[in-house]
Chains A and B, each alone.
Chain A
């Protein structure tokens, strides 16, 4: 049984208690301690910057050309904080409860409460950095509502909230780099985690320009490497988003939890062809004013504006009158897939549903709607050539956010001492489904306010350790493994590209471990994943060499890791005989087709231990105990 090390005391005192009793490192000793951060998104950049401010020696690694590219940049809609600026009855408890309920009671009470508790500080911090959130005429901050809640607690900067939050974090990171407190390694990819005496003590990285293999040691390592939704190939993620850092840590002993819990975002642009490399997301905020519908008649080919009201099915409003178009993402995605699968999909490929602004434009005027969503409408028109002012948008679900990830305890430490996971890379706060605008929040809370505090509690034991040498057998072995693997990729010399395998894998995952799953389907998926992996190691083609710029080599490494992770995801989905949140097992649903949880058997987090390549993973359970909230049937009706 895993111990999450939840502090004593009532829920609202836990984090306070922790901070009052955790060990500290004095400023003079911080200079002697090295920390490595992997990734510069909205968790990595704040963690690196904050640790730099505190006086630690920080090295930050990322594969992009500059820290400002990390995929947090693409988050559109907003960030939640229970400040109750709108006087609509919001508070920390409600924010906590909404998050817990949204996650279908499969997250830790203590972590989720802390997320809500610290949310207000994140907004303060961002505003102090110059993040230009939307304001009211009187100069105070504006808020909007988001899926799964009934208050307005979302702060936003037009449809570019992630970009603005990330640039705030980037600016403070750049300041620390300029001051020499943080050293930045752009165009570097982590290839191995180095574990010495059971502790995370460094990494092996590849310089993506020269191809050189580098050794970097540290007293602690923070993985802020993001989510792995790109495993579905077609997703809302960036082309380079990957699971490799997390997977390497998993192979070295870090457990992964809730790995099959993947959120499919309901408002993405549908796929238009096989060449497609990504699915663009349209912010969920659009669901505030847009109404989702499909024609009542199957295969209705009429132009949407020509379909009269009585022949339209506003299915979310019909099925979930209390929340309507603002039903949580998993429900909205599943409902859309149901409509599409039943033959009511719209668009040239019959793979979309309508999101209609006709009524909103009638009520508020095109100008007001343009103020709210202008940039999103322009983006839609740029990509599709159609104007949402004139006809409904077409949307469909796409892989978006992975609630699962590296298992961490209350301190955000993985099962490898000294290895932390923050932001989307960990599994912690969202349970089986994440609420909109809680992602930027969790990344920020982890990076700015939690990891920099909890890491001190660990590093206080290392003040006499001294610099970790890199000329040790552990570093030798890790480097050897990394190089051997790269050599293997370039030596197979088969016929198919890494991209080919990634696309095939994506199709398998979407079909069998996607929006909905069944035991039979998952079993089939596992077989197909294994076959594909065999084929990969026989027939992969990576042109070029190791010691040069080689994108194909980078891709091969990421796809190889996806091919292993895919099986673990399938395994996790297979093992959990219940439906919860985004994990919808077809065998477990109510008569009305809603997710049917099994609290008696599955009130735990499944954390998986790696037991070797191709071997069945070992299950460890973390029991979820609910002291304050009584898990109920998650109803949005």
Chain B
């Protein structure tokens, strides 16, 4: 198959970006989208041009390092997928495809399609953990946890930290990402002790990093590769208000 790409090129975080047009032919529909970009880069190297910078690592949908805006949508037109799991068979022969970095106010473009998502780490640093030192843990079965609670916690914990929810949100809100960690740890008895402190610290960190507010459009859930539910956001709001009522702020 043949496609025309319009790819966002930006030299560094300070320079202004622009679109460049490239034509690719003889692509195999079973290629992943990123393998198609590999082909493009091989072509550019042969033409003595600078290849397109983009992030990817595991290429099996779990590490969260890839992530592109494809035709205006995070990770392309399929719901619940990472960019590496998009395949060329999901496009038509002759398509023109617009490729941009993940766009969000708190994400800076580093070069071309690479962005800086370190603000997401700082939200976790604020409280996305249980304060337990190595060596201090009790026997794993000493704290029974219901099968359903464990599964609910898993569903929240499955977040891959890709930033798709943030890039998809018109407000660049990190509510889904932040709430997933808060909910995981609030669902488990291990997280109980730091429950109020955690939600206050993480929500404050989220606001301090310049992420927008959640206005419940639920676009994040539609695009999340792990299908993290917006009920996590409701839980975060509940936890936050509960902590306020308990006078923990």
Contact = CB atoms under 8 A, between A and B. Distances in A.
B60 A280 contact: yes
B30, B58, B160: residue with the most chain A Cβ atoms closer than 10 Å = B58
A272 B154 contact: no
Contacts of B45: 497, 541, 543, 552
Contact of B124 (A64, A121, A171): A171
A399 B103 CA distance: 36
B139 A171 contact: no
Interface in B142-166: 143-147, 150-151, 153-154, 157-158, 160-161
Contacts of B232: none
A47 to B, nearest CB: 10
Nearest to B82: A382
Nearest to B139: A124
A167 B141 CA distance: 21
Interface string A119-146: 0110111111111111111111100000
A127 B64 CA distance: 23
B62 A175 contact: no
B58 A123 contact: no
A128 B145 CA distance: 12
B28 interface: yes
A196 interface: no
B144 A138 contact: yes
A64 B147 contact: no
Interface string A547-584: 01101100000000000000000000000000000000
Interface string A180-210: 0000101000000000000000000000010
A126 B137 CA distance: 8
Nearest to A371: B151
Contacts of B38: 275, 277, 499
Contact of A275 (B31, B46, B51, B125): B31
Interface stretch (A156-164, A290-298, A629-637): A156-164
Contacts of B147: 134-137, 139
Interface residues of A, number: 81
A132 B57 contact: no
A548 B15 CA distance: 13
A382 B61 CA distance: 10
A50, A184, A240: residue with the most chain B Cβ atoms closer than 10 Å = A240
Nearest to A543: B50
A74 B55 contact: no
B114 interface: yes
A132 B184 contact: yes
Given A66-B121, A127-B143, A128-B138, A73 B58 contact: yes
Interface in B17-59: 28, 30-32, 34-35, 38-39, 41-42, 44-46, 48-51, 53, 55-59
A158 B154 contact: yes
Nearest to B48: A543
Nearest to B161: A68
Interface in B113-147: 114, 116-118, 120-121, 124-126, 128-141, 143-147
B88 to A, nearest CB: 10
Nearest to A550: B53
A390 to B, nearest CB: 19
Contacts of B120: 66
30 contacts: A46-B134, A66-B121, A68-B121, A69-B57, A71-B58, A71-B63, A74-B62, A127-B137, A128-B132, A130-B185, A132-B154, A134-B147, A134-B150, A135-B147, A135-B150, A136-B147, A137-B146, A172-B134, A175-B129, A177-B121, A178-B126, A273-B31, A277-B34, A379-B61, A448-B134, A452-B134, A497-B41, A499-B42, A543-B44, A549-B111
Interface of B: 12, 28, 30-32, 34-35, 38-39, 41-42, 44-46, 48-51, 53, 55-65, 81, 85, 87, 89, 110-111, 114, 116-118, 120-121, 124-126, 128-141, 143-147, 150-151, 153-154, 157-158, 160-161, 184-185, 188, 190-191
Q: Enumerate the 6 nearest inter-chain pairs by beta-carbon distance, A residue then B residue, closest first.
A: A139-B144, A178-B125, A128-B137, A171-B129, A124-B137, A132-B154
